[in-house]
Amino acid sequence: MSLKKAVFSSSKLLNGLNSKVCVIVGSQWGDEGKGKLVDILAGKYDVCARYNGGANAGHTIIVNGVKYPFHLLPCGILYPQTLNLLGNGTVIHLQTMFDELKQLDRDKICYKGRLMLSDRAHLVTSLSIAADSKNEEQSKNQFLGTTKRGIGPTYASKMNRYGLRIGDLKNWDTFQQKYNYLQQKFKDFDIQPQQDELKEFKQLRDRLLSENMIVDSVYLLNKQMKEGKKILVEGANACLLDIDFGTYPYVTSSSTSVGGVCTGLGIPPQNIQTVVGIVKAYTTRVGEGPFPTELQDENGEHFRKVGREFGTTTGRPRRCGWLDIPLLRYSNMINKFSSINITKLDVLDQMDQIKIATKYLIDGKEIGYMPSTIDELSQVQVEYIKLKGWKKDISKITTYRSLPKEAKEYIKTIEKLLKVPVSWIGTGPERESMIQKKI
C-alpha cells in the first residue's frame, strides 16, 4: 500500500468512516449532539447498537426538515439497510419505544426486521418510575435532578437480582410470577404499580414476539462481527455522567464510557477500532452537580438561547459554560479518543471573545487533574485563555478551508491542548451541517 493510501485509510479509521467497530461517546455531561454523527455514520454500517441507559437520554435527528426526537431508538433506524439493537446494558420502557415507532409508521419508514431487543436487557416498569419520583422528592439534602424515567430503580432491581428482563416475556406464566415478586419488593417501600400494567405488558409482549424483536444479542453481534459486518455503537448520556467515573452522585446509573460497550453489548475490547468523542464547543449540564466553568452572565444566556439548550427528555434549561479542557483531558484518559467531533460551533458565531478553560487550581496552585470528589471539584478555580471571535455566520459553510481563520484557530487550539485530532465539525442542527475535516 502506498503512503498516501495508508494515510487515507488511517484517517477513515480515526473518523469512524471505515471501522469494524466504531463507538460514539459523549465527552462532557451529555447533550453534546452524539445523535447527529451517529445519524451521518449509520448509513455506512450494518448494525447500530445502543449499550447503556434508557429513555433518560435524548437525541433529536433532523432529516429534510423533519424532527425525530428519539429517547430509546438507535439513530440507525432511519436507514433502511441498518439493523438496530438495544443491547443487554440498556433498560427499556416498552411503551416509550412503541410511541417513538408511531412517528416512523406515520412517515412510512419501515423498521420491520430491523429492530432487535436483547433478551438480557431489563424492563422499566411503572414501579420503577414511581420509585424514581419518590426518591427524588424525598432527597431533601441531595436533589440529584434525575429525569424520573425509572432508570435508577430499574438498574437497582437488576443489581439486586429481582429485575425483569426482556427475555422473561417469552414465558408469560413465568413473567407474571416474576412481576408479582417485583411488585412485592416495591410494596415494602409503599409503591404501587400502575393499574392494568400486566395487561399492557401482555399486549406489548404479543407484538414483540409476532415481530421477532427479542434476540440473544450477544450471539447476534458476535456472529455479525465474524461475518465481517460493521458495528456502530451509540452511547447514551456521557462520560462525566458515568456511574463510576462521573461526578458522583450527580451521575446516571449506567456505564456511559467506552468500557460500558463491552459489558453492555458483549463486544470484546480488542474488537473496538475507533472511539469518536463528541465535544460541544462549549459546556452544558442538566440538573445538579459541580460545574467549574458555569456562566451566570449574558454569555451563559447566549449559549442557552442561541444553542436552544433545553433538555430533549425533560425540557429543563441547561446550565451553560465555557469549554473545559481539564474535563476533556480526563474524559480522553478514560476513553482514548481516536478523534473528536466538535459540535455547535455556530453557536459561537456572534461572540467577540471566546474563553477556553485550560487549568484547575486549588489555593492558587495548579492541580493537573480533575478531582474525583464533588467537594474538591466545587473548590477549583479556573484559568482561561482568550481567543478572538469570528463574528460571521458559519452555518452554511461545508469545508474546513472555508471557515473564518478565527474559527480554525479555535479548532487548532483544542487539538493542541487535548493532543487529539478533530475529524468532524458541526455547524448547525441539520444532517448536512457537518464538516468532515481531514486528519
Residue 310: its pLDDT value, please?
Answer: 83
314 is in an annotated binding site: yes
Please compute, for residue 391, the number of CA atoms within 13 A of its CA located in the half-sphere on the CB side.
Answer: 4
Query: b/e per residue, 392-410, with b = 16+ CB within 10 A?
Result: eebeebeeeeebbeebbeb
* 344 among annotated binding-site residues: yes
For residue 146, name the pLDDT band (cuts at 50, 70, 90).
low
Single out the catalytic residue among 31, 39, 132, 242.
31
User: How far is the C-alpha of 345 from the C-alpha of 268, rounded, in Å?
Assistant: 35
- 176 phi, psi to nearest 5 deg: -60, -40
- CA distances, 47 to each of 5, 114, 208, 268, 316 (Å): 27, 9, 19, 16, 32
Q: How large a percentage of the chain has pLDDT more than 90?
A: 79
Known catalytic residue at 59: yes
Question: What's the full length of the chain, in residues?
Answer: 439
Asked if 72 and 54 count as a contact pair (C-beta separation under 8 A), the reply is yes
Tell me what pLDDT residue 130 has: 87
- Cβ atoms 201, 166 nearer than 8 A: no
Grid cell locating 385: 485563555
Q: Could you report the per-residue pLDDT of 158-215, keeping only the tens digit for each?
A: 999 999 999 999 999 999 999 999 999 988 777 777 778 999 999 999 999 999 999 9
Out of 70-74, 141-145, 265-269, 430-434, pick the least confident: 141-145
pLDDT at residue 141, as a whole number: 56
Q: What is the mean pLDDT of residues 221-235?
A: 96
Please compute the mean of the pLDDT values over residues 403-427 and round it to a whole number: 98
Tell me if residue 185 is catalytic. Answer: no
33 annotated as a binding-site residue: yes
Number of alpha carbons in the 13 Å side-chain half-sphere of residue 416: 8
CA distance 40 to 22: 13
Q: How far apart are CA 302 and CA 428, in angstroms?
A: 16
CB-CB contact of 340 with 437 (8 Å): no
Alpha-carbon span 21 to 25, nearest angstrom: 13
- pLDDT for position 138: 64
Q: Among residues 93, 122, 158, 230, which one is catalytic?
A: 158
Alpha-carbon dihedral 178, 89, 45, 345, rounded to 10 degrees: 130
161 is annotated as contributing to ligand binding: yes
C-alpha 208, offset from chain centre: 25
C-alpha cell recorded at residue 375: 467537594
| pLDDT at 230 exceeding the cut of 70 | yes
- What the chain holds in terms of domains, given with CATH numbers, is 11-120+216-436 (3.90.170.10), 122-210 (1.10.300.10)
Give yes or no for residue 403 having a pLDDT over 50: yes
Cα–Cα distance, 434 to 357 (Å, whole number): 25
Yes or no: say if 42 and 232 are a contact pair by the CB < 8 Å rule. Answer: yes
Dihedral of CA atoms 324, 326, 330, 332 in degrees, nearest 10, equals 70
122 noted as active-site residue: no
- Cβ-in-10-Å burial (0-12, 13-18, 19+) of 417 comes to middle
Catalytic residue among 59, 71, 230, 355: 59
Residue with cell 424532527: 67
Is 313 annotated among the ligand-binding residues? Answer: yes
pLDDT at 135: 73
**Backbone φ, ψ for residue 401 (5° rounding):** -60, -30
90 annotated to bind ligand: no
